[in-house]
Amino acid sequence: IQYERALSLNRSIGLGIGISSGVDLPFKSYLLKQFGDNEDAKRAIETTKMDVLTITPEYKFYLNKKGAPIGFYVATFIRYTKLSFSQDYSFTPSNGILHIAPITGNLNGVGGGAMIGVQWALGKVMTLDWWIVGPFIGVQSGDFDGTCDMSDMTPTDLANLETDIENTDIPTWKIDATVGSNTINAKISGPFVGVRMFGLCLGFRF
């Protein structure tokens, strides 16, 4: 849902809010092809679910004589994203017993970008807004917790598990893990990139 208000002949501001529930991991099929031979990775990919909230304020400048909010435009925007995350994280210590820890947490990110688009008038009251392309970049941080009975694991096993989590290959991201006798915590942070593109928004003018 987006609200847009004209400020002058060529300028407008807008605020968009998006909500998605129970979303799979992005590029799930590709990830399963890449890591499907690893049962732990496969389980993590298949059980990952996310609830997503995005808030996007933006400023548009229209490049035509008709004026806002009709015609071709250039926009700058800020995007806040919150991901509520759940996953089954599995591992097998030196005793050979499979452990599965349900993991939950939140990932928050803020970024900014620019977009080009065009908006048409469909009669007197309806509009169609086409978001052609809008790349953005920002930073994210998250905190994840899980519980599992790890009382059968040795101190070396616990230390190895902590190291394995911190060595998860996410380029340019930092991961700090803490593993106790029955708890797992991971704090992560790093940059992210994204793109708004080929979106269609049907509008009502009032």
Reading phi first (left if > 0) and then psi (alpha if -120 to 50, else beta), residue 172 is in: left
The packing angle between helices 39-47 and 28-35, to 10°, is 170
pLDDT (0 to 100) of residue 38: 86
Q: Which amino acid is at 24?
A: D
CA pair distance 8, 71, nearest whole angstrom: 14
Proportion of the chain above pLDDT 90, given as a percent = 82
CA pair distance 202, 117, nearest whole angstrom: 14
pLDDT (0 to 100) of residue 27: 83
- Residue matched to tokens 């190291």: 163
CA pair distance 206, 161, nearest whole angstrom: 58
pTM above 0.75, yes or no: yes
For residue range 65-85, what is the model confidence (pLDDT) as tens digits? Answer: 888 899 999 999 999 999 999
Sign of the Cα torsion 99, 105, 110, 113 reads positive
pLDDT (0 to 100) of residue 146: 95
For residue range 11-59, what is the model confidence (pLDDT) as tens digits? Answer: 999 999 999 999 998 888 888 988 878 888 899 999 999 999 999 999 9
Sign of the Cα torsion 109, 112, 116, 119 reads positive
